[in-house]
């Protein structure tokens, strides 16, 4: 067999990897051509991470070989992968904040002259590495002071500076704004034109359709297929990934609005301008907007996490005076933050501790400060069962679970007590289709039980798929209240950008998700 087919820079052949006897990858083959963007798609746990870790040398496969530029290499290490031109930009950045951009670009490859660091040569080289991808940053800047988007670009510059002709990008737009995403796409497209082969991992179907030449879909550690990206539909990709069709992703929730449970009037603050809206029992109301529009701040202000100068928040007709998380929860509002790690979960704790902590605070599994272990255990098993948390291991560290299962642990805070108002802020960012379905089913159940649900999301498809009504937010104001026949993508986009920009393509909206 001719390993080095025309234009193929990388071939992974029949890669198998087992963890504790479970196959994370089961005989997966994958190839990458020179100057192409090959998207790797699949739910969390499908095997994407394991495959790119085998290609980049951070894990060694149990079976199968990796062939780079015609050379059969077997299992790689990070050093041998880099030496053969594989550069990886993982979601968890590997830059050192205390060092400058130049020092990071040359980390472990420092230039010396007569035994001393040649700082001038490193500065010049770093400037050149940044210029090569069209980035205008001073190489002397400390990395700690950069935005996430800038760090990502430095990471790409560093990888390419090491003469990589294979670039792996893992969820590169997860935390980028629309403008930053567009800039990154220009850079990626430019690299493709220069003959670099790019493996691109993303949960966002719109990005994949825009950028990729080919798409390979993995499911449960197996390769489902590789298809040309031209003309591929969301339905086809969702079906390959999940074995389900797109229609089944969003549950059909009948709107039977009852009494108003959340009324916000004239809410103003540093980022909010005279915001008013209401949500009734038994309905899901979407707050839609681009990153930075103020939609998240509305949810946070209602819950007492953002300062307000004026306006009122009423829960079941009673004004929430001096909003604070404790007062809001006591009066019946629960908020699920967008940033699971920074605000939602105790990352040093187990699944059980994360599930029971909010109920201890609410006094439902503790009395006079004494924790009732039996109530805590019962609550934990109820949550694991109701939300299908996998693996069902209460003693496992929360960081040992996928993003979707961590999100379910966050939802557990509402199990111990019945809340009339639920505010979800970007509830499905970075989680796969299977977990999304579970989160949507949970929102549906809350609706049926008569709760008022607020869904804050940058994913247009999600907000249209789930909401009975939508308030569009721009520059800290509510600029549209869409209902009935008005609930379509064109109207949402028009509201996002202001009507003069209504011709903006819908695809560019999906992409502005503030993971």
Whether 473 is covered by a domain: the verdict is: yes
Whether 202 is covered by a domain: the verdict is: yes
Question: pTM to 2 decimals?
Answer: 0.58
- Respond yes or no on whether the N-terminal peptide bond of residue 393 is cis (omega within 30° of 0): no
Whether 18 is covered by a domain: the verdict is: yes
317/380 same-domain check: no
Whether 339 is covered by a domain: the verdict is: no
CB hemisphere CA count around 228 (13 angstroms): 2
Q: Is the CB of residue 172 less than 8 Å from the CB of residue 152? A: yes
323/461 same-domain check: yes
- Residue at a domain's end among 392, 417, 442: 417
310/442 same-domain check: yes
Q: Which residues pair with 411 in a beta bridge?
A: none
124/264 same-domain check: no
- Residue at a domain's end among 367, 400, 417: 417
In tens digits, the chain (515 residues) has pLDDT values of: 333 456 999 999 999 999 877 788 999 999 999 999 999 988 767 889 899 999 999 999 999 999 999 999 988 999 999 999 999 988 767 888 899 999 999 887 788 888 888 888 899 999 999 988 888 899 999 999 988 888 888 988 998 888 889 999 988 887 777 888 888 899 999 999 999 999 999 877 888 989 999 999 998 899 999 999 998 888 788 788 877 665 666 777 777 788 999 999 999 999 899 999 999 999 999 999 877 789 999 999 999 999 999 999 999 999 998 889 889 989 999 998 887 776 777 878 888 887 777 655 555 544 445 555 665 677 778 777 777 787 788 888 888 887 778 888 888 777 767 889 999 999 888 777 778 888 898 899 899 999 999 999 988 788 888 999 999 998 899 999 999 889 887 788 778 766 433 333 333 333 333 33
35/62 same-domain check: yes
Domain encompassing residue 72: 8-244
What does DSSP say about strands 452-457 and 283-288: parallel, antiparallel, or unpaired?
parallel
44/177 same-domain check: yes
18/38 same-domain check: yes
148/281 same-domain check: no
Nearest-5° Cα angle at 416, 415 to 422: 50
Tell me, rounded to whole angstroms, the distance of Cα 257 from its chain centroid. Answer: 31
Q: How many CB atoms lie within 10 A of CB 348?
A: 9
Q: Where are the alpha helices (DSSP H) in 251-398?
A: 295-302, 325-331, 351-362, 373-386
85/208 same-domain check: yes
- Residue at a domain's end among 244, 263, 278: 244
Cα–Cα distances (Å) from 327 to 313, 321, 324, in that order, read 12, 8, 5
Count up the domains in the chain and report the number. 3
403/467 same-domain check: no
Whether 3 is covered by a domain: the verdict is: no
The DSSP code sequence of 278-297 is EEETTEEEEEE--TTSSHHH
326/378 same-domain check: no
Q: Is the CB of residue 175 less than 8 Å from the CB of residue 150? A: no
Q: Say how many Å lie between the first and final Cα of the chain, rounded.
A: 44
């Amino acid at each position: 067999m001719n390993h080095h087919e025309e234009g193929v820079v990388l071939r992974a052949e029949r890669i198998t990897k087992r963890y504790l006897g479970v196959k994370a990858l089961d005989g997966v083959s994958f190839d990458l051509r020179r100057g192409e963007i090959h998207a790797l798609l699949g739910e969390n746990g499908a095997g994407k991470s394991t495959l790119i870790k085998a290609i980049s040398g951070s894990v060694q496969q149990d079976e199968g070989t990796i062939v780079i530029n015609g050379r059969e290499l077997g299992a790689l290490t990070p050093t041998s992968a880099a030496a053969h031109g594989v550069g990886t930009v993982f979601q968890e950045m590997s830059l050192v904040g205390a060092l400058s951009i130049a020092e990071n670009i040359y980390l472990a490859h420092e230039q010396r002259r007569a035994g001393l660091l040649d700082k001038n040569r490193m500065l010049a080289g770093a400037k050149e590495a940044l210029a090569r991808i069209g980035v205008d940053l001073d190489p002397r800047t400390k990395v700690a002071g950069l935005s996430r988007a800038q760090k990502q670009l430095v990471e790409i510059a560093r990888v390419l500076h090491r003469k990589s002709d294979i670039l792996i990008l893992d969820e590169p737009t997860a935390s980028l704004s629309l403008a930053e995403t567009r800039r990154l796409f220009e850079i990626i497209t430019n690299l493709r034109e220069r003959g670099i082969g790019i493996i691109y991992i993303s949960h966002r179907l719109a990005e994949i359709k825009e950028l990729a030449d080919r798409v390979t879909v993995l499911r449960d550690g197996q390769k489902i297929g590789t298809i040309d990206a031209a003309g591929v539909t969301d339905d086809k990709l969702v079906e390959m990934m999940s074995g389900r069709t797109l229609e089944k992703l969003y549950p059909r929730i009948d709107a039977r609005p009852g009494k108003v449970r959340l009324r916000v009037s004239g809410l103003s603050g540093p980022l909010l301008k005279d915001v008013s809206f209401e949500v009734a029992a038994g309905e899901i109301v979407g707050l839609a907007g681009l990153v930075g529009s103020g939609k998240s701040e509305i949810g946070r202000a209602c819950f007492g996490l953002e300062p307000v100068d004026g306006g009122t928040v009423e829960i079941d007709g009673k004004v929430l005076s001096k909003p604070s998380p404790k007062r809001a929860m006591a009066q019946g509002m629960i908020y699920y933050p967008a940033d699971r790690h920074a605000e939602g979960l105790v990352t040093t704790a187990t699944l059980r501790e994360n599930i029971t902590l909010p109920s201890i605070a609410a006094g439902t599994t503790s009395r006079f400060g004494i924790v009732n272990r039996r109530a805590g255990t019962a609550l934990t098993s109820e949550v694991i069962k109701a939300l299908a948390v996998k693996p069902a291991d209460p003693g496992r560290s929360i960081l040992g679970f996928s993003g979707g299962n961590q999100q379910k642990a966050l939802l557990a805070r509402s199990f111990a007590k019945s809340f009339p108002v639920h505010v979800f802020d970007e509830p499905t960012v970075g989680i796969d289709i299977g977990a999304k379905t579970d989160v949507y089913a949970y929102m549906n159940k809350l609706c049926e039980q008569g709760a008022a649900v607020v869904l804050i999301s940058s994913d247009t498809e999600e907000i249209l798929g789930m909401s009975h009504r939508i308030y569009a937010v721009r520059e800290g104001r509510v600029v549209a209240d869409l209902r009935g026949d008005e609930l379509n993508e064109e109207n949402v986009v028009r509201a996002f950008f202001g009507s003069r920009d209504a011709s903006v393509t819908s695809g560019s909206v999906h992409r502005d998700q503030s993971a």
